[in-house]
Amino acid sequence: APPVVGQSPITMRMQTSWPASNIWQQMAQQYADRVEAMSGGRIQVDLLPAGAVVGAFQVIDAVSDGGLDASHSVSAYWYGKNRAASLFGTGPVFGQDARNLQSWFYAGDGKQLFDELVRDEMGLNVDGYFGMPMPAQPFGWFTSPFESMSDIEGSRYRTVGLATNLLQNMGLSVAQLPGGEIVPAMERGVLDAFEFNNPSSDRDFGAQDVASNYYLGSFHQANEMFEYLFNQDFMDSLDDDLRAILIHSVEAASTANYALALDQYSADLQWLQNEGGVTVHRTPQSVMDQQLVAWEDLISELEEEDIMRRILDSQRSWVERTAYYELMNAPDYQAAYNHFFPETLKL
Told to check if 307 binds another protein by CB under 8 A, we report no
Gap between the Cα atoms of 247 and 31, Å rounded: 10
Told to check if 260 binds another protein by CB under 8 A, we report no
Told to check if 205 binds another protein by CB under 8 A, we report no
Told to check if 165 binds another protein by CB under 8 A, we report yes
Told to check if 145 binds another protein by CB under 8 A, we report no
Among 21, 40, 65, 321, binds another protein (CB under 8 A): 65
Told to check if 58 binds another protein by CB under 8 A, we report yes
Stretch that binds another protein, among 46-54, 103-111, 272-280, 321-329 (CB under 8 A): 46-54
Told to check if 255 binds another protein by CB under 8 A, we report no
Among 174, 252, 253, 302, binds another protein (CB under 8 A): 174
Residues 6+ apart with CB under 8 A from 295: 92, 93, 166, 219
| Closer residue to another protein in complex, CB, 95/277 | 277
Gap between the Cα atoms of 247 and 251, Å rounded: 7
Told to check if 22 binds another protein by CB under 8 A, we report no
Residues 6+ apart with CB under 8 A from 274: none
Within 83-112, which residues bind another protein (CB under 8 A)? none
CB of 127 closer than 8 Å to CB of 234: no
Query: 163-178 as b/e, with b when 16 or more CB fall inside 10 Å?
Result: bbbbbbbbebebbebb
Gap between the Cα atoms of 134 and 131, Å rounded: 9
Q: Which one-letter DSSP state was computed for residue 120?
A: I
Gap between the Cα atoms of 252 and 260, Å rounded: 13
Told to check if 143 binds another protein by CB under 8 A, we report no
Residues that bind another protein (CB under 8 A): 52-55, 57-58, 61-62, 65-67, 77-82, 122-123, 153-154, 156, 164-165, 168, 173-177, 181, 184, 187-190, 209, 233, 237
